[in-house]
Amino acid sequence: MTPPISDLLARPGAGVIVPLVTPVTSDGRLDEPAAERLVAHVAGAGCGLLVLGTTGEVASLSGGLRRRYIDLAVRVAARRVPVFACVAHNSLEESAALAREHLRQGADAIVGMLPNYFELTADDMRAYFRRLAEHTPGPFFLYNMPATTRMSLPLEVIAELSRLPNVVGMKDSESTPGRLDQVAQRFGGRPGFALYMGVAAQAVAAFRRGFHGVVPSSGNLRPDLWRALHDAVLAGDWTRAERLQHRTDAISTVLQRDRSLGRSLAALKAALSARGLCGPEMMPPLVPLPAAAAAAVSDELSRLE
């Protein structure tokens, strides 16, 4: 039986779920000491964890590495904050198997993403998510990520899927103009269905419109700022929340300026490396930033402190 979503959302850290990078060695193994440091850094600041998401280069990770990272994250988080596990995969069977295993490992919720090889119709999307959710024996979040899937999950499909007993929310990472308002009007504040904003620059706007939480990649670097922003929202201090939004936006600008998604993730790892949290290594097909570019990112971020 799926636990009530209210229980999960009441957990400390559930308002900010940081999508963790995946620290790896130069030969493509999980860098476990670095992963432990990163999980402790984020959970210690009171933020929840999304393991194996887009920021974690999930499409490039083997099943074995995924399982090891979930084991490590659950162990180090030690129930202080929620652990969400993404099961993005082009094989439904593999995604479903990973969902079952990650829940057995102790993940609090599963996050499912559309496969991204074929262009899908709304009927295809509905059928895929329905089957994946039905094979997931625990809380299930939809994940709308057009930047990687090249598809947008329609509101009508979301509405139908939200009626499944274990579909408890959605992470929406679509920045199309008007999307935030459309999602908020349709689903904001709805009991039993939590909305998470995946576009960090829209965090405060999303909270104002009834979203429950935010999933910010810059939280790998500064989870303290994101926890403070959420605390300000809970206190109704929107002036402070907006001020913190500007600070986190400045960090994201340094990481993303004139870069593709993959290169911005390399910039994030370069910044984390400069702070001793993990190395700069990326999983193929991505590669680390050149040394000069990495140094420039670190220097610019230091000036923001």
Token duo for residue 290? 């050149």
Which one-letter amino acid corresponds to residue 19? Answer: P
Helix, strand or coil for residue 142? strand
Q: Is 143 a catalytic residue?
A: yes
Placement of tokens 């933020």 in the chain: 47
Answer for the pair 196, 141: CB distance below 8 angstroms, yes or no: yes
Q: Is 171 a catalytic residue?
A: yes
The dihedral through the CA atoms of 174, 180, 182, 188 has a sign that is positive
Q: Which is nearest to 140 in space by CA: 166, 105, 179, 104?
A: 166
Token duo for residue 219? 């939280």
Answer for the pair 209, 238: CB distance below 8 angstroms, yes or no: no
Helix, strand or coil for residue 230? helix
Pairwise CA distance, residues 172 & 155, whole Å: 11
| Residue tagged active-site, from 69, 143, 196, 269 | 143
| Residue tagged active-site, from 69, 117, 128, 171 | 171
The dihedral through the CA atoms of 92, 96, 102, 105 has a sign that is negative
Q: Which is nearest to 147 in space by CA: 105, 100, 114?
A: 114
Pairwise CA distance, residues 90 & 139, whole Å: 21
What does DSSP assign to residue 45? T
- Which residues are annotated as catalytic? 143, 171
